[in-house]
């Protein structure tokens, strides 16, 4: 029987050419797998037809947008997941859900190998292949750009020679990856890290310098998950989309960073993630009133580690799973409303309320109603500083010798 290979298919030039390229190089039949993670653009049916037109023996399409929002974006929100404190893990969290569907398709169509369109220099090849190794340990991996010398020039020549149903003339100098959680743009003139991004880079956000009138929004959460916006019930996917629209119109969520890739390269990336950044800001502020101090401090460390694991392609790893359990436990009381103003590139919280809040007005107030016994503070400070005081006495004694 002819060997079968499932290919992660985006509908773009490289993966369209990869169908025939893999076929010629390996003699295998190629099954194209397109996964909708809310990236917008063409319909899945259009993409499916193109894959078949490019020589795929089967084309599998999966609408995974709700699955992606519920099982990948929401855990990222609960973790306040920001790699290096900036990047909301847009591409990093989409790879594992694509991997799930690739493995599923491989089983369904009897494939032995999974192919993807990544280069040998980035994080995504790692995320795909580590994911495949974990969910389908018997499956092999192949990356035509990396392993079969499929360069851009060759791709264009191949598409023209074979008359593939794909445009080869549209010259986009950028490499773009996008889904409902955000958008990532790199390469071209952005590789000079002193160059400021030009307007044409952006798609999810309007220029924050000329914002429309301020937009006030109330986001309601239950156990760390957004459940309503301005009192209207929403699913996680709807919440992200609605905030992409409203925060995007105000230019919220533009990020310009040089980040540390897993492969040891520092690279410049422009992100725009209006919905994700508005949600993370609101969620963090709700945690500030509902999560106990020590748990909150420790969670910040856990969230950072969680983000590194996810960035590094360890979504399905045991440590990531254990950290998920910790994070989940912290979200029990993260319920309530956050009011924020979206304006001029910023999402600024100006009100919060929660039935499970730890904020105690009578403890906090400096006015009448104060229930805090200030006499307790003296002794507390004495004991709190004792250990450092004893050490400092020793330091003075030793220095004096």
Q: Which is nearer to ligand ARG, 23 or 253 (CB)?
A: 253
Q: Which is nearer to ligand ARG, 184 or 340 (CB)?
A: 184
Cβ atoms of residues 222 and 83 within 8 Å = no
Cβ atoms of residues 63 and 80 within 8 Å = no
Q: Which of 5, 61, 184, 225 binds ligand ARG (CB under 6 A)?
A: 184
359 annotated to a ligand binding site: no
Report DSSP state, residue 56: -
Q: Identify the bridge partners of residue 35 per DSSP, sorted by sequence position.
A: 62
Please say if 175 is a catalytic residue.
Answer: yes
Nearest distance from residue 307's CB to ligand ARG, in Å? 11
Tally Cβ neighbours within 10 Å of residue 381.
Answer: 10
Spell out the alpha helix ranges (H) of 250-375: 274-290, 293-311, 318-330, 361-364
The stretch near ligand ARG (CB under 6 A) out of 177-185, 231-239, 327-335, 349-357 is 177-185
Residue 308 is a binding residue for ligand ARG (CB under 6 A)? no
Q: Which is nearer to ligand ARG, 172 or 365 (CB)?
A: 172
Cβ atoms of residues 3 and 112 within 8 Å = yes
Q: Which of 129, 269, 272, 312 binds ligand ARG (CB under 6 A)?
A: 269
Question: Rounded CA gap, 160 and 242, in Å?
Answer: 41
The stretch near ligand ARG (CB under 6 A) out of 141-149, 150-158, 172-180, 218-226 is 172-180
Residue 175 is a binding residue for ligand ARG (CB under 6 A)? yes
In the numeric block, the tokens 């990356």 are attached to 143
Please say if 95 is a catalytic residue.
Answer: yes
Question: Rounded CA gap, 249 and 252, in Å?
Answer: 8
**Residues 358-377 within binding reach of ligand ARG (CB under 6 A):** none
Q: Which is nearer to ligand ARG, 78 or 95 (CB)?
A: 95
CB proximity list for 205: less than 8 A, separation 6 or greater: 248, 251, 252, 253, 254, 272, 274
Q: Which is nearer to ligand ARG, 258 or 381 (CB)?
A: 258
Burial class (CB in 10 A: 0-12, 13-18, 19+), 291: buried
**Residues 64-103 within binding reach of ligand ARG (CB under 6 A):** 91-92
15 annotated to a ligand binding site: yes
User: What does the DSSP assignment read for 83-105?
Assistant: BTTTB--HHHHHHHHHHHHHHHH
The interaxial angle of helices 274-290 and 293-311, nearest 10 deg, is 150
Binding mask 128-157 for ligand ARG (x = CB under 6 A): ------------------------------
357 annotated to a ligand binding site: no
End-to-end CA gap in the chain: 86
Nearest distance from residue 90's CB to ligand ARG, in Å? 7
Q: Which of 135, 176, 228, 358 binds ligand ARG (CB under 6 A)?
A: 176
Q: Indicate which residue of 146, 175, 324, 337 is catalytic.
A: 175
Burial class (CB in 10 A: 0-12, 13-18, 19+), 154: middle
Nearest distance from residue 88's CB to ligand ARG, in Å? 10
Token duo for residue 346: 């910023």
Q: Indicate which residue of 48, 65, 124, 268 is catalytic.
A: 124
Q: Which of 80, 123, 314, 346 binds ligand ARG (CB under 6 A)?
A: 123
Residue 314 is a binding residue for ligand ARG (CB under 6 A)? no
Q: Identify the bridge partners of residue 260 per DSSP, sorted by sequence position.
A: 266
Nearest distance from residue 81's CB to ligand ARG, in Å? 12
Residue 177 is a binding residue for ligand ARG (CB under 6 A)? yes
Cβ atoms of residues 316 and 135 within 8 Å = yes
The stretch near ligand ARG (CB under 6 A) out of 23-31, 36-44, 58-66, 171-179 is 171-179
Please say if 14 is a catalytic residue.
Answer: yes
**DSSP run (H or E) holding 55:** none
Please say if 397 is a catalytic residue.
Answer: no
Cβ atoms of residues 1 and 121 within 8 Å = no
Nearest distance from residue 313's CB to ligand ARG, in Å? 9
Active-site positions read 14, 95, 124, 175
Binding residues (CB under 6 A) for ligand ARG: these are 91-92, 123, 175-177, 184-186, 269
Binding-site residue set for L-aspartate: 119, 123-124
Binding-site residue set: 8-16, 87, 117, 119, 123-124, 127, 175, 259, 271
């Amino acid at each position: 029987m002819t060997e079968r290979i499932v290919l992660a298919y985006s509908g773009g030039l490289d993966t369209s050419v990869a169908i025939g390229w893999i076929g010629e190089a390996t003699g295998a039949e190629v099954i194209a797998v397109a996964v909708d993670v809310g990236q917008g653009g063409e319909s899945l049916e259009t993409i499916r037809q193109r894959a078949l037109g490019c020589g795929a023996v089967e084309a599998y399409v999966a609408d995974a947008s709700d699955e992606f929002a519920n099982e990948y974006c929401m855990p990222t929100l609960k973790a306040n997941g920001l790699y290096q404190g900036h990047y909301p893990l847009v591409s990093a969290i989409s790879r594992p859900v694509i991997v799930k569907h690739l493995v599923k398709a491989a089983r369904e169509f009897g494939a032995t190998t999974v192919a993807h369109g990544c280069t040998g220099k980035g994080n995504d090849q790692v995320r795909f292949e580590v994911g495949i190794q974990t969910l389908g340990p018997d499956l092999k991996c192949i990356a035509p750009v990396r392993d079969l010398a499929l360069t851009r020039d060759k791709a264009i020549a191949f598409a023209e020679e074979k008359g593939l149903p794909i445009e080869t003339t549209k010259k986009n100098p950028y490499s773009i990856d996008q889904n409902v959680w955000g958008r990532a743009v790199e390469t071209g003139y952005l590789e000079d890290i002193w160059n400021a991004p030009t307007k044409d880079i952006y798609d999810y956000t309007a220029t924050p310098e000329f914002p429309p009138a301020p937009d006030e929004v109330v986001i309601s959460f239950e156990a760390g998950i957004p459940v309503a916006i301005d009192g209207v019930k929403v699913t996680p996917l709807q919440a992200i989309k609605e905030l992409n629209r409203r925060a995007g119109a105000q230019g919220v969520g533009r990020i310009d960073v040089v980040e540390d890739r897993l492969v040891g390269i520092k690279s410049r990336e422009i992100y725009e993630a209006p919905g994700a950044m508005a949600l993370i800001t609101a969620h963090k502020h709700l945690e500030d009133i509902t999560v106990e101090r020590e748990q909150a401090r420790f969670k910040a460390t856990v969230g950072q580690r969680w983000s590194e694991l996810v960035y590094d392609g360890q979504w399905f790893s045991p440590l990531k799973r254990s950290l998920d359990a910790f994070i989940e436990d912290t979200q029990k009381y993260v319920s309530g409303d956050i009011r924020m103003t979206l304006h001029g590139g910023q999402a600024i919280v100006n009100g919060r309320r929660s039935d499970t809040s730890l904020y105690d007005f009578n403890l906090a107030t400096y006015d009448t109603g104060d229930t805090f016994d200030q006499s307790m503070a003296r002794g507390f400070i004495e004991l709190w500083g004792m250990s450092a005081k004893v050490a400092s006495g020793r330091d003075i004694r030793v220095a004096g010798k």
